[in-house]
């Protein structure tokens, strides 16, 4: 039984480039979350979807960040243009609807912006 | 604003020792969770507590939710090297906002 799948696992890019992170939630889950983790700020919720619809994007740092969920099995987080301060580990998590107390996390994407 | 403060931030102990990690807030939470995260991986849920004063045990780990539902503690008995990791509390407050704590990095030395 596959867990949450994220790709790529590691991404190194230069400042100004577009970055797209991908997530496949656990089959049957209908809530999906994007988080960012840094040493300074810990684990921060960026945005979450219920039934593919964005519910709360108040954690998205600025307009350079956007997230989509075109269907129940796929979501993307895009940063355009990327900046060095975006360097972090980005996690995707999924759960059944409104069970934010039981989230299943993917392995994360470590992003380095030079 | 960090609603869930954890202490200590770092903890290094010898195998066999006991330890307690704290998660504190000024807000009331409808439920609180504890996760463990190992290097290079995502957090994994250990337990959820929902009732004030609730105590749950998971082998050598004991979790307690404060009576006022504003704080929680995690106690590990006879720590083992396999307990090493980042321990995160998380919760949803009565305003339906969800937060993770600042984390406690535990190292158990063989």
Q: What is the pLDDT of residues A58-101, one digit of tens each?
A: 889 889 999 999 999 999 999 999 999 999 999 999 999 867 77
Interface contact B66, partner A, CB < 8 A: no
Per the prediction, chain B carries an average pLDDT of 93
**DSSP structural state of residue B69:** S
Mutate to test the interface with B, among A39, A89, A103 (most CBs of B within 10 A): A103
Contact A107 B88 (CB under 8 A): no
- Give how far B34 is from chain A: nearest CA, Å: 10
User: What's the confidence (pLDDT) of residue A30?
Assistant: 93
pLDDT at B2 over 60: no
Residues of B in contact with A44 (CB under 8 A): 100
C-alpha triplet B37, B50, B28: angle, nearest 5°: 90
Mean pLDDT of B60-67: 97
Interface contact A42, partner B, CB < 8 A: yes
- The CA distance from B56 to B32, in Å, is 12
User: What's the confidence (pLDDT) of residue A110?
Assistant: 97
Interface contact A75, partner B, CB < 8 A: no
pLDDT in tens, A10-68: 999 999 999 999 999 999 999 999 999 998 888 999 999 999 999 889 889 889 999 99
User: What's the confidence (pLDDT) of residue A1?
Assistant: 63
Mutate to test the interface with B, among A26, A100, A106 (most CBs of B within 10 A): A100
Which of A17, A9, A19, A16 shows the shortest CA–CA distance to A92?
A: A9
Residues of A in contact with B2 (CB under 8 A): 42
- The CA distance from B60 to B78, in Å, is 7
Contact B41 A102 (CB under 8 A): no
Interface contact A105, partner B, CB < 8 A: yes
- B60-67: Cβ within 8 A, 24+ apart: B63/B34, B65/B32
Mutate to test the interface with A, among B42, B87, B90, B100 (most CBs of A within 10 A): B42
User: What's the confidence (pLDDT) of residue A94?
Assistant: 95
pLDDT in tens, A13-25: 999 999 999 999 9
> Which residues have CB under 8 Å from A40's CB, separation 6+?
none
Residues A19, A79 contacting (CB under 8 angstroms):
yes
């Amino acid at each position: 039984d596959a867990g949450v799948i994220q790709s790529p696992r590691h991404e190194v890019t230069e400042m100004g480039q577009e970055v797209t992170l991908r997530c496949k939630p656990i089959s049957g889950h209908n809530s999906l979350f994007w988080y960012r983790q840094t040493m300074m700020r810990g684990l921060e919720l960026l945005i979450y979807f219920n039934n593919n619809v964005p519910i709360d994007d108040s954690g998205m740092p600025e307009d350079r960040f956007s997230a989509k969920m075109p269907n129940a099995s796929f979501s993307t987080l895009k940063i355009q243009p990327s900046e060095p301060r975006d360097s972090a580990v980005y996690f995707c998590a999924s759960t059944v609807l409104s069970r934010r107390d039981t989230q299943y996390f993917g392995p994360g994407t470590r992003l380095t912006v030079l | 604003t960090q609603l869930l403060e954890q202490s200590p931030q770092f903890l290094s102990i010898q195998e066999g020792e006991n330890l307690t990690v704290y998660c504190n807030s000024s807000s009331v939470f409808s439920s609180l969770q504890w996760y463990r995260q190992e290097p290079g991986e995502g957090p994994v849920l250990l337990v959820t507590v929902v009732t004030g004063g609730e105590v749950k045990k998971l082998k050598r780990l004991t979790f307690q939710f404060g009576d006022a539902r504003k704080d929680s503690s995690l106690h590990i008995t006879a720590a083992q090297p396999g307990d090493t990791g980042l321990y995160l509390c998380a919760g949803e407050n009565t305003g339906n906002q969800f937060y993770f704590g600042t984390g406690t990095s535990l190292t158990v030395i063989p």
